Amino acid sequence: MQVLKVLELFFMQPLVWLGLLRSYMTARNRVNYERHHFRSAINAQFVEVRHFLIDGVLFGLVTSVISLGLGIVVAPVWVVIYELIAVISLIIVPFAVLPVTVFGLSWLIYWLYSPQLTMVGGALQRYGVTTTSMSGGLLINALVLVAMILAVTAALLRWHDHQGDSPQLRPDQRGKRIVRYRWQQFLVLPVAVLVPGDWLHATFSWWPVFMVGQRSFSIILLPLLLGASVQVYKQLPKTAWHRLAKRYGVVAVVALVLAVGARLAALSPQWLLILMGGMVVLTWGILIQHRYHDQHQGFRFSDTDQGVRVIGLRRHTPADKLNLGLGDVILECNRKAVHTESQFYAALLDSPTYVHLKVRNLQQELIITETAIYNGAPHELGIVLFTDQED
């Protein structure tokens, strides 16, 4: 029963519901865009919402076990500051996810406005809230939480690499159509952490409290915002997401090593705050590097006059058996040269039960691929091409 009460308080947090709404809006906008520009959705399921719920629970359990095992303690005033900044970031920056920046900024504000020096801190203390000062232990715990944010983000990029395969049409400087692929997913993890004091127990008599020496602690579920919003124009999406996931993983290891080193070296809070700022800079650094690498590639997903370029593939369709990849150019369909989407569909009608394609892949190799067309298959075989008319 007490566990249910703790969960109930977590679901009362505005950050959780705002995060769910944001995931829903992201999924709905994607599906509507696909239906408008490509006649039908490439993936009609609201996978962003499903991942928000399922992955949130899964990773929340894992990170909670790690957090309680390590005895992660956070200050209650910092929790309020963090949630407030996270909510504001989701409202005023609707097309970006800045979890590490939000996390680092919350600690900077907590340091600038020490609870002991504010009327809010005094009021909270009168209600039994232990407003701990900026101690080295708190910031070491914060570095561990940053490592969790980065590690889970890396896992999401690898697990859901197909999520960023939805094409978005953009004009280049000459008005020619090019394609952008965006991977956008974030979670609000319920991470169990310790907060000092018995103020929750004083407010809710059923709230679990335990003693460690002369100090009392309560357990709360911290809504931890994480995720990313990244895009590519000139790389295969899956390859780019995997490369970025590796970099996130490296920075997560760096954060963990810094936390261990800081514990052994007994660094002052000021130095630990600098390390926290360094983690924010490193995170921005890998995102800038990701964009720089993409901008300096020679290839891009653009319209072509020499066939029709594949810019999207619907899963569980005949396209799976054709072994096509994003960026491939279909030169012939059923032994007829094709240069537009309408020509491709017309050639498909010549053989309603079988399709034979001549394709040039990204390695400039010519390949022949073919498959049977089963009843109920989509008329375009699950292959998404540039439409004949610009949107």
E strand segments, 303-365 = 308-313, 329-333, 336-337, 354-360
Sign of the dihedral defined by the CA atoms of residues 320, 323, 329, 331, in that order: negative
Closest CA to 224 of 320, 147, 305, 109: 147
Q: Which of 94-98, 185-189, 255-259, 269-273 shows the lowest mean pLDDT across its residues?
A: 94-98
Q: How far apart are CA 371 and CA 335, in angstroms?
A: 14
pLDDT of residue 205: 57
**Domain membership flag for residue 301:** no
- pLDDT tens, position by position, 158-208: 999 888 889 999 888 777 889 999 999 989 999 999 888 665 555 555 556
**Domain membership flag for residue 137:** yes
Shared-domain flag, residues 92 and 12: yes
Which DSSP state fits 338?
-
Q: How far apart are CA 307 and CA 351, in angstroms?
A: 19
H-assigned helices in the chain: 2-11, 14-38, 47-70, 76-92, 99-112, 119-126, 136-159, 199-203, 237-265, 269-295, 341-349
Q: How far apart are CA 116 and CA 213, in angstroms?
A: 24
Shared-domain flag, residues 286 and 319: no
Question: What's the whole-model pTM score?
Answer: 0.88
**Domain membership flag for residue 232:** yes
**Structural domain of residue 319, as residue ranges?**
308-385
Shared-domain flag, residues 149 and 184: yes
- pLDDT tens, position by position, 58-99: 999 999 999 989 989 888 888 889 999 999 998 887 666 689
Shared-domain flag, residues 341 and 282: no
Looking at the 3D structure of the chain, how many domains does it have?
Answer: 2
Which CATH number do you get for residue 376?
2.30.42.10
